[in-house]
Chain A
Amino acid sequence: MALLIAGRIFGLIVLLVIMSATAFYIKRSEKGKIPKLRRVPGIDAIDEAIGRATEMGRPVMCAHGIGNLRDATTGPQTIAGLSVLSFVARRCVEVGVKLIVPVRQPEVWPIAADIVETAYKAAGKGDEFSSDDIRYLSSNQFGYASNYLGIMMRERPGANIMVGAYWAESLQLAEMGSIVGAMQITGTAQTSQLPFFLVASDYCLIGEEIFTAGAYLTQDAPLTASLAGQDIGRIIGVVLSILGTLLITGGSKLILDLFKW
């Protein structure tokens, strides 16, 4: 009996190549060779948004999406959103602005609360942390949305940062943020919701940009270096796409067979 499952071997090889490349770049970063990151205006604007909210004397709202942690496609987006929350929390504590974190998934609530509490403790302001600001709204999609809209109407945040997985509520939240005059930074890898975020917010992180936010914001050398490993995956993807197009056009099914290996 074959140990490796047929049809998944090629995927395993690609995964191992990307992992090796990531490990290689991380090792290289220890010698001081850190790849240069291009500017991402949406992430750069987070500081500006928090500063604006501070000047206006209004709170900052930062949500990490409505996805859970266990789904293969939305879980990573939630993790990316939590990385952004981590940075936003530290900045908010530094400048002394109130941070409100709306939560949909109960299993994510303790993680979000821990991130914000740690930011307060790290700044020596542990006693100022209030778990009431990390609000579990509802597991129901539109229960969450209506609650979020209500908070925005009552609190009138100066900045609304939403990075993570969103569905039909994305436009409602972003439009309400626009109505209350919040500076908005949004981001998602849900292709169906990107157009809504693009038209309704000031800055929008598109697709993979949300996954780089953690590395970009911390400027941590190994994290930054790991993004170069991601580029190797991109090169493999582009090469396979071009090869596949040419071979299929020429009548060969080599690439398809390779994927089925």
Chain B
Amino acid sequence: MSNALRRVEIPIAITILCMLIQVIPYYVDIQVLNDTANLLQQWFLLVVTMATFVGLISVAQVHIKPIQKQSTGWYFSLIIIVCMVVMAITGLPLQEVGLGTTNAIYDFLFRYVQTPLESTTFSLLAFFITSAAYRAFRARNVEASLVLISGVLMVCFNAPMFTAFWSPFKTIGTWINDVPNAATMRAVTMGAALGTLALAVRTLMGIERGYLRGGGGE
């Protein structure tokens, strides 16, 4: 029985069935199918919610070992575990006992720890952009030279100082944005949409199995 349940055909059949239940109501108006699709989406939310616990277990697995062994940087692991436990408990949706998103500890950690940390990590992007631009903007060949020239023109277009000094920067920048850039982006978007569609068709036909046990082999 357990071997039968491990057969790769079962998840493939579930995938195809779920896909059909989601796809058909998009084109065909049948109330039963609409209701089933909605129900399936609610089930999926339940699966995702349950999967959160899997995430917590993984974090615990990775970080408890360094604390036990007191290996290099073990105190960082301790901070993660403590924060995870405190946030999880104080954030429980139990308003009647003072827990939830309005809880003072949860609110403090969210406002004064998580939000500044997020902002800090995001702001690192500015430095990474500088170093990436330094590498990208080197005229090694024709293509790189075109990137360099376009980049410089776009910097001039976006900085009011330059457009005030020489107004054609505005026209050039708008043209680069609206013509070569838009054309390239549309081509990539259309290609990606077709790729998505083809992947969906392959999944629907049960031949795309890369996401299942390394291609479905058991």
Q: Is B10 an interface residue (CB 8 A)?
A: no
Assembled-state Cα–Cα distance A110/B50 (Å): 12
The answer, among A3, A80, A136, A223, for a CB contact under 8 Å with B58, is A136
- Cross-chain contact A118 with B213 (CB below 8 angstroms): yes
Q: CA of A76 to CA of B201 in the docked complex: distance in angstroms?
A: 11
Give the size category of A's interface with B: 35 or more
- Our count of residue pairs bridging A and B at CB distance below 8 angstroms stands at 202
* Min CB gap A63→B, angstroms: 15
Interface size band for B: 35 or more
Q: Are A119 and B59 in contact (CB under 8 A)?
A: no
By a CB distance below 8 angstroms, the chain A residues around B30 are 3
A107 and B47 CA atoms in complex are apart in Å by 8
Interface string of A1-29 (1 = CB under 8 A from B): 11111001101100100110011001000
- Residue among B48, B65, B203, B208 facing the most chain A CB atoms (10 A cut-off): B208
Binding site for A on B (CB under 8 A): 26-30, 44, 47-48, 51-55, 58-59, 61-62, 65, 73, 114, 117-118, 121-122, 124-125, 128-129, 131-133, 135-136, 185, 188-192, 194-205, 207-208, 210-215, 217-218
Task: A76-B195, A136-B58 are known; give 8 further A-B pairs, CB within 8 A.
Answer: A111-B211, A134-B58, A178-B135, A189-B192, A229-B198, A230-B198, A233-B194, A233-B198
- Chain A residues in the interface with B (C-beta under 8 A): 1-5, 8-9, 11-12, 15, 18-19, 22-23, 26, 68, 70, 72-73, 76, 79-80, 82-84, 86-87, 89-90, 103, 105-107, 109-111, 114-115, 118-119, 122, 131-132, 134-136, 139-143, 145-146, 154, 168, 171-172, 174-176, 178, 189, 191, 194, 196, 199-200, 206-212, 214, 218, 220, 222-223, 226-227, 229-230, 233-234, 237
